[in-house]
Amino acid sequence: MLTRLTIKNYALIDELEVVFDKGFNIVTGETGAGKSIILGALSLIIGNRADLTNIRDSSLKCVVEGVFNVEPYGLKPFFEKNDLDYDPMSIFRREITVSGKSRAFINDTPVSVKLMNTLGAKLIDIHSQHQNLELSTKRFQLELVDLVAGNQEILASFKNEFSEFLKKQKSLKELKDKAEKEKSDLDYFEFQFQQLDDAKLSENEQVELEEELEKLSHSEEIKTVFNRVSELLENDNISILNLLKETNNELKKVSNYFKEATELQARIESSLIELKDIAEEINAQSENIEYDPARLEYLNQRLDLIYSLQQKHHAGSVAELIQLKSQFEERISGIVDYDIQISRMEKELKEAVIVLKNKSKDISKRRIAVFPEIENKVVEVLTQLGMPKSRFAISHEVLKEFNSEGIDSIGFLFSANKDVEPDEISKIASGGETSRLMLAIKSLVASKKSMPTIIFDEIDSGVSGEIALKMGTILKEFSRSTQIINITHLPQIAGKGEHHYKVFKFENQKGTFTSVKKLGPAERIEELAKMVGGDNPTANAIQTAKELLN
């Protein structure tokens, strides 16, 4: 429960500290005194959004700190899971600067506002007049039914699976869109691949073809040169070989007595052997060189094909064309694989739909099963609040398609009179009836959910007299198991409280400020008397105040 609240530099508050007790805490004060300001500051330490306009002095930061007794509520595992120091008296602190920077701390450990909100939701339920409006919304109504049905765990599992289902649906659509686009290009890819495949390209082919083409294009010139060289080497009359033979023979004549001649003769003989080999090679090459018009035409055609493919695909080599062919083949294969992928994903989605439908049916059964309990409890409390002829029912419709909440559409139907058929709350309930309805709902929530602290911000709106007394009795009954902090303008309810706090404004040379004071017994009588009879209460008003307290 909330044991202490400290606020600094927030709206009309310079600095104040309030110590709350267990049981039924009453907060009163004139309109505009600052009750809503205190509630707004409190909401900051349970993770609500900060409003920079509420910083009083722009040269200082705003600090709100709350101390909670968390020991009875089994929250130690939550602290351990989120790496927080556990302390039975845990301190929540929020700091906000005028620059907009917001920092949150739990037991002096920096935390995200989201984490603070998650833990805060386990400690405090703030009921404002805005929540009376929420009573008419489908979301609020469904959440209440799920709370009573204990659907939190199965619903969380369902929502996770539904989220995965939506992701798969999106992936399937993207895959189908991609497949459709790719398939429209399939003919193009197949044509390009087939053209490259029919070309039967090999990596070094272009170089070899270009060399052969060059040789065939100059075959006559090559043959003429070879014949001339052969004649120079081997002509019967004057040839290089014959001259070398004579040179060799002449050197032999003096080799016996001139050793240098022997060395020269050996070198001549070696050259003679090499030239004979060259002459034989030239003759052989000359015989192999033939002008072949058919082969020449083939080479030109083949190279023209390669050049045209390179130009078409902006490729610099045959190797690049071969690589491009592989890419087209992969694209074609991928397009063919789309059908397999789509089929597999469609099967997975069908299986997911079956699981979601079965689970949503289970959730629906659990919801329907608690309808009578909710209806009876609400009518029971409304009867205590002076509405014995009221009727409350829950309508139910099975949706055609499930959503993140299942397959149910429910509605709370209400009538204050026996002879009037129940209808939607927003259409039929007055302000006072809505307040009583919400109190009945909160009593149901309190019985199903262990909530350390519930704050009611003028839940008594629209009621008075005997009904206010009965409402106060119910609130006091709540406080036996839950700390209740109730902001009220009604003396009938304020008199039921065990602890009474007055919010008031005061002025000094620095400005106007809001503060809070816990009232003693005599001060309570005076405050209640003013609530009954105005600023100058009569003896009758004072007596009424005493009776209310008793």
pLDDT of residue 32: 84
Q: Are residues 212 and 314 in the same domain?
A: yes
pLDDT of residue 176: 87
Mean pLDDT of 159-187: 86
Q: Are residues 116 and 193 in the same domain?
A: no
Residue 345 lies in a domain: no
Q: Are residues 112 and 215 in the same domain?
A: no
Residue 260 lies in a domain: yes
Q: Nearest-5° angle of CA 102, CA 103, CA 108?
A: 165
- Crossing angle of helices 539-549 and 521-533, in 10° steps, is 120
Residue 321 lies in a domain: yes
CB 110 within 8 A of CB 103: yes
Point out the domain boundary residue: 280, 311, 333: 333
* Residues 272-316 pLDDT 10s: 888 888 888 887 777 777 777 888 888 888 888 888 888 888 888
pLDDT surpasses 70 at 130: no
Q: Are residues 92 and 214 in the same domain?
A: no
Q: Are residues 229 and 321 in the same domain?
A: yes
b/e for 375-395, b at 16 or more Cβ within 10 A?
bebbbebbebbbbeebbbbbe
Q: Quick one: pLDDT band at residue 129, thresholds 50, 70, 90?
A: low
In degrees and rounded to multiples of 5, residue 124 shows phi and psi of -135, 135
CA distance 486 to 475: 9
Residue 496 lies in a domain: yes
b/e for 58-93, b at 16 or more Cβ within 10 A?
eeebbbbbbbbbbeeeebeebbeeeebeebeebbbb
* Residues 34-81 pLDDT 10s: 888 898 899 999 888 888 888 888 888 999 999 999 998 889 999 999
Q: Which residues, other chains included, contact 475 with Cβ-Cβ below 8 Å and sequence gap of 6+?
A: 24, 439, 456, 484, 486, 493, 496
Residue 28 lies in a domain: yes
CA distance 255 to 264: 9
Q: Are residues 316 and 200 in the same domain?
A: yes
Residue 346 lies in a domain: no
pLDDT surpasses 80 at 231: no
Residue 74 lies in a domain: yes
* Residues 6-40 pLDDT 10s: 999 998 998 999 999 999 999 998 888 888 889 88
Q: Are residues 219 and 89 in the same domain?
A: no
Q: What percent of the chain has pLDDT over 90?
A: 35
Residue 549 lies in a domain: no
CATH number at residue 87: 3.40.50.300
| Domain extent at residue 288 | 187-333
Q: Are residues 101 and 206 in the same domain?
A: no
Strand-pair partners of 108: none
Mean pLDDT of 89-97: 93
pLDDT surpasses 80 at 238: no
pLDDT of residue 202: 87
pLDDT of residue 290: 72
Point out the domain boundary residue: 333, 365, 392: 333
Q: Are residues 191 and 327 in the same domain?
A: yes
Residue 517's Cβ-count burial label (10 Å; 0-12, 13-18, 19+) is: middle
Residue 139: CB atoms within 10 Å:
9
Total domains in the chain come to 2
Point out the domain boundary residue: 312, 333, 354: 333
Q: Are residues 11 and 113 in the same domain?
A: yes
Q: Are residues 117 and 196 in the same domain?
A: no
In degrees and rounded to multiples of 5, residue 466 shows phi and psi of -65, -35
- Both tokens of 476, joined, read 């006091």
pLDDT of residue 519: 94
pLDDT surpasses 90 at 167: yes
- Does the predicted model carry a pTM greater than 0.85? no
CA distance 438 to 137: 13
* Residues 245-265 pLDDT 10s: 878 887 887 877 777 888 888
- Crossing angle of helices 219-234 and 240-254, in 10° steps, is 30
Q: Are residues 207 and 283 in the same domain?
A: yes
